[in-house]
């Protein structure tokens, strides 16, 4: 019996007459016991709950149970597991019962806790994906940092599940949509390029605001772009929105867009490459076109943002969340005019940045204002 189980036994028997008084006294006097009991309540159990709920939400098991109580067979069918896995599936579900997240009655599992019921709701999908992102990507950043510092390891894009991130990044949907509403012309025909489109939800939103808008939605990750294309078809937008798997740095396009949007992805680029990247985005804008970039920024952010920032510190392909003044400087360096940062809500770390491409020269080529823009002139479109 481990010390924790022993502690629980002792606690449970505290009211009973002591038989082995000396043994009990020795156990209770163990100086590690109070710490274990406190950690069990404050760390171990919440971690088990979070892990179970994240897996149950991510695998769709919570959503299954939201519609009706499910027996083992129907859950196995949903997960597409063979009969040889039934016992292991039951063992996992029973931990959910033990944690108080599920209930089991007459051979059927159902949702029990308020958290499980809330995470099962379709409207809370971004929150469920945030929990999954936290456990799968944030926890490794905290856990592996010392080992990575010693061994030199770093995170790569393959350490993130792009489909989970495409869902979790919609937690800031209200902020991004407010920024899109402000920047988008409503009646004139608009050609939009969305870089790093994720689910494509913001292209859909823009298309709903302006019925004459057409768009190219691009994402670096093939599975993310594939899912966005499926979403566009499902939303009835396939004839207005082309979805492509591609990289902003190598897109071979004319400067044809009235608006380029980059939502929640400037930190996927190293800090010292951002001015060049922004100049690249500008080179795809028609004269007079606008860049709309939204991002959480460093400072006054939540703990979750600080840990996201930490993850990108350990990812050589990206960099930390931007600072407002630093990104404004990079936009100017990239050749944008009328550069602005807008706070969508007071006290929030989220900002909408805009800049205008006033260049009327050939093919929207960036002006030679700095070393960074000069580099883009050589490698750009």
Ligand X SMILES: C[S@@+](CC[C@H](N)C(=O)[O-])C[C@H]1O[C@@H](n2cnc3c(N)ncnc32)[C@H](O)[C@@H]1O
One character per residue 143-162, x = contact with ligand X (rule: CB under 6 A): -------------------x
Least distance from ligand X to the Cβ atom of residue 78, Å: 27
Q: Is the dihedral of CA 86, 91, 96, 100 positive or negative?
A: positive
Binding mask 259-298 for ligand X (x = CB under 6 A): ----xxx--x------------------------------
333 binds ligand X (CB under 6 A): no
Selected binder of ligand X within 62, 93, 166, 284 (CB under 6 A): 166
The count of C-alpha atoms lying within 13 angstroms of the C-alpha of 355, restricted to the half-sphere facing its C-beta, is 25
What is the per-residue binding string for ligand X in 219-238, x denoting contact by CB under 6 A?
Answer: xxx--x--------------
| Sheet with strand 108-111: strands edge to edge | 70-71, 108-111, 102-105
**Residue 102 vs 126, nearer CB to ligand X:** 126
User: What is the bridge-based pairing of β-strands 213-219 and 190-195?
Assistant: parallel
Please give the structure tokens belonging to residue 337.
């005019």
Instruction: Kindly indicate which of the ranges 179-187, 207-215, 241-249, 366-374 contains the residues binding ligand X, using the contact rule CB under 6 A.
Output: 241-249
Closer residue to ligand X in complex, CB, 48/317: 317
CA dihedral (213, 216, 221, 226) positive or negative: positive
Provide, rounded to whole angstroms, the least separation between the CB of residue 379 and ligand X: 14
Here the contacts of 312-318 (C-beta below 8 Å, separation 24 or greater) are 312/267, 312/268, 314/141, 314/144, 314/145, 314/148, 314/154, 314/155, 315/154, 315/155, 315/156, 315/157, 315/159, 316/154, 316/270, 317/156, 317/157, 317/268, 317/269, 317/270, 318/267, 318/268, 318/269, 318/270
| Sole binder of ligand X in the list 120, 165, 207, 215 (CB under 6 A) | 165
Distance CA 27, CA 29 (A): 5
- The nearest distance, CB 269 to ligand X, in angstroms, is 7
Which one of residues 49, 136, 249, 356 is an interface residue with ligand X (CB under 6 A)? 249
Q: How far is CA 361 from the centre of its chain?
A: 38
Residue placing its CB nearer to ligand X in the complex, 109 or 350: 350
Q: Which is nearer to ligand X, 249 or 356 (CB)?
A: 249
Least distance from ligand X to the Cβ atom of residue 131, Å? 16
Q: Exposure string (b/e) for 185-214, b if CB count within 10 Å is 16 or more? A: eeeeebbbbbbbbbbbbbbbebbeebeebe
- Nearest to ligand X of 52, 267 (CB atom): 267
DSSP string, 153-176: ----GGGS-HHHHHHHGGGGHHHH
CB of 94 to ligand X, least distance (A): 35
Nearest approach in angstroms of CB 216 to ligand X is: 11
* 108 vs 183 by CB, closer to ligand X: 183
Judged by CB under 6 A, how many residues of this single chain contact ligand X? 22
Please, which of residues 190-219 interact with ligand X by CB under 6 A? Answer: 195-199, 218-219
Cα–Cα distance, 209 to 229 (Å, whole number): 20
Question: Judged by CB, which is closer to ligand X: 57, or 195?
Answer: 195
Q: Interface residues with ligand X (CB under 6 A)? A: 162, 165-166, 169-170, 195-199, 218-221, 224, 247-249, 263-265, 268
């Amino acid at each position: 019996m481990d010390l924790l189980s022993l502690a629980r036994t002792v606690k449970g028997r505290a009211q009973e007459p002591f038989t082995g008084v000396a043994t009990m006294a020795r156990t209770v006097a163990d100086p590690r016991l109070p710490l274990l009991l406190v950690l069990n309540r404050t760390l171990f159990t919440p971690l088990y709950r979070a892990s179970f709920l994240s897996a149950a939400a991510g695998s769709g098991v919570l959503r299954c149970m939201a519609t009706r109580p499910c027996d083992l067979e129907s859950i196995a069918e949903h997960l597409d597991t063979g009969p040889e896995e039934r016992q292991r599936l039951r063992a996992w579900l029973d931990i959910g019962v033990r944690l108080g997240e599920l209930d089991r009655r007459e051979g059927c599992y159902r949702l029990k806790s308020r958290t499980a019921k809330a995470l099962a709701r379709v409207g809370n999908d971004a929150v469920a994906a945030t929990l999954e992102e936290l456990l799968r990507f944030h926890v490794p950043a905290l856990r592996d940092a010392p080992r990575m510092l010693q061994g030199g390891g770093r995170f790569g894009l393959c350490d993130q599940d792009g489909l989970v991130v495409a869902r979790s990044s919609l937690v800031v949907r209200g902020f991004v949509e407010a920024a899109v509403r402000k920047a988008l012309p409503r009646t004139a025909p608009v050609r939009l390029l969305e870089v790093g489109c994720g689910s494509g939800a913001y292209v859909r939103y823009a298309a709903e605001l302006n019925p004459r808008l057409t768009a190219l939605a691009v994402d670096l990750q093939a599975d993310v772009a594939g899912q966005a294309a499926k979403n566009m078809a499902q939303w009835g937008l396939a004839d207005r929105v082309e979805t492509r798997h591609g990289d902003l740095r190598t897109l071979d396009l004319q400067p044809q867009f009235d608006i380029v949007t980059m939502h929640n992805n400037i930190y996927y680029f190293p800090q010292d490459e951002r001015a060049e990247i922004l100049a690249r985005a500008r080179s795809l804008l028609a004269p007079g076109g606008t860049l709309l970039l939204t991002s959480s920024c460093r400072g006054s952010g939540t703990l979750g943002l600080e840990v996201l920032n930490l993850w990108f510190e350990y990812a050589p392909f990206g960099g930390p969340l931007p600072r407002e003044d630093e990104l404004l400087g990079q936009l100017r360096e990239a050749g944008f005019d009328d550069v602005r940062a807008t706070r969508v809500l007071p006290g929030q770390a989220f900002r909408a940045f805009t800049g205008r491409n006033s260049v009327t020269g050939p093919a929207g080529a960036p002006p030679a204002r700095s070393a960074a823009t000069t580099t883009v002139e050589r490698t750009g479109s």
